[in-house]
Amino acid sequence: MLTLAVLTTFFIGSGHCNLNFTTENERIVGGQDATPGEFPYQVTLLYNSNLMCGGTLINESWVLSAAHCCFGREFEPLSAVMGNHKLNAVDSGEQTININKYFVHPAYNSKTIENDICLLRLAKKATLGNYVRTINLPQKQQEYQPNTVCNCTGWGTTSEGGAISNILQKVQLKVVSANTCKQQYTPEAIVNTMMCAADSGKDSCQGDSGGPLVCKSGEVSGIVSWGYGCAQAGYSGVYTKTSYYINWINETITNNPNSSSLAKVSHLVFILAALLLL
């Protein structure tokens, strides 16, 4: 099955991505250089300072990405770069913050790549500004009509088996109907929590995984997940449909604040109690 082929590959640096038959990098294919600050919600996820995956800033302290990016990794080597433009340079407005915890969706299936979604918590809040901004989540169960134009961005390889990009790349893709996508892969492979997008000669590729697909201004519609190769004729890129995970995202964020804020509250309680006792 193609999806199995897809599963056999991956990792750029450390990211496990899908689909290629090689472990070489591929980034956005058929795209163009973004301009600094054009996609302020785009996050670079690093593992030991190497490009691991893309991500999306959805909250001052939280990055949305793909489960296959996070799964099985240690926390210590993980960091996120907000406001990044050139991978190999410190850009103005850029902020690098460690990840101190991540949450892989409990139903993530690494064989079928279902529920390919992960939330990563920043060790401290990002400072929002011209180069660093959050993007909204879609409405619950939001669907996107076929041919809707979407922006996909990342530093992944610019061709299947090529090298990663130093400058953030952007590409416009069109939503492909679930029926067409099922015909391209298999009916079972494409479930309703996935969405497909493609255009001739254009695609996301290895290293773009976990990054954003934005099909409606101001909301993160999809997460780069998998596909057969990159920009192969007749095969769409497959994205996790964010709108099916709104409850899980909100609950995970609410239930897992940084311990630093908890620690501050307990310190305050302790001081108040001590004062009362005196």
- Distant-in-sequence, close-in-space partners of 110: CB < 8 Å, separation ≥ 6: 7, 67, 68, 71
- CB nearer to ligand 4AZ: pick between 68 and 105: 68
Task: Give ∠ CA 170-174-178 in degrees, rounded to 5.
Answer: 130
Does the footprint of ligand 4AZ cover residue 209 (CB under 6 A)?
Answer: yes
DSSP state letter for 124: S
Helix (H) or strand (E) segment spanning residue 160: none
| Residue 116 annotated to the active site | yes
- Segments in the chain forming alpha helices (H): 2-7, 67-70, 178-184, 246-255, 259-277
Does the footprint of ligand 4AZ cover residue 227 (CB under 6 A)?
Answer: yes
Rounded to a whole number of angstroms, the minimum distance from the CB of residue 203 to ligand 4AZ is 4
* Candidate list 79, 204, 209, 243, residue with the active-site label: 209
Closest among 211, 148, 195, 143 to 174, alpha carbons compared: 148
* Candidate list 14, 61, 68, 225, residue with the active-site label: 68
Task: Give ∠ CA 264-253-58 in degrees, rounded to 5.
Answer: 110
Q: Is 45 helix (H, G, I), strand (E, B) or coil?
A: strand
User: Which of residues 3, 14, 19, 45 is near ligand 4AZ by CB under 6 A?
Assistant: 19
User: Which of residues 152, 168, 223, 230 is near ligand 4AZ by CB under 6 A?
Assistant: 230
- Distant-in-sequence, close-in-space partners of 144: CB < 8 Å, separation ≥ 6: 150, 175, 195, 215, 216, 221
Q: Site for ligand 4AZ (CB under 6 A): how many residues?
A: 16
| Residue 209 annotated to the active site | yes
User: Which of residues 3, 10, 73, 113 is near ligand 4AZ by CB under 6 A?
Assistant: 10
Does the footprint of ligand 4AZ cover residue 212 (CB under 6 A)?
Answer: no
Does the footprint of ligand 4AZ cover residue 20 (CB under 6 A)?
Answer: yes
Rounded to a whole number of angstroms, the minimum distance from the CB of residue 255 to ligand 4AZ is 29
Does the footprint of ligand 4AZ cover residue 206 (CB under 6 A)?
Answer: yes
- Show which residues are catalytic: 68, 116, 209
Report the interface residues with ligand 4AZ, using CB under 6 A.
10, 17-20, 203-206, 208-209, 224, 226-227, 230, 237
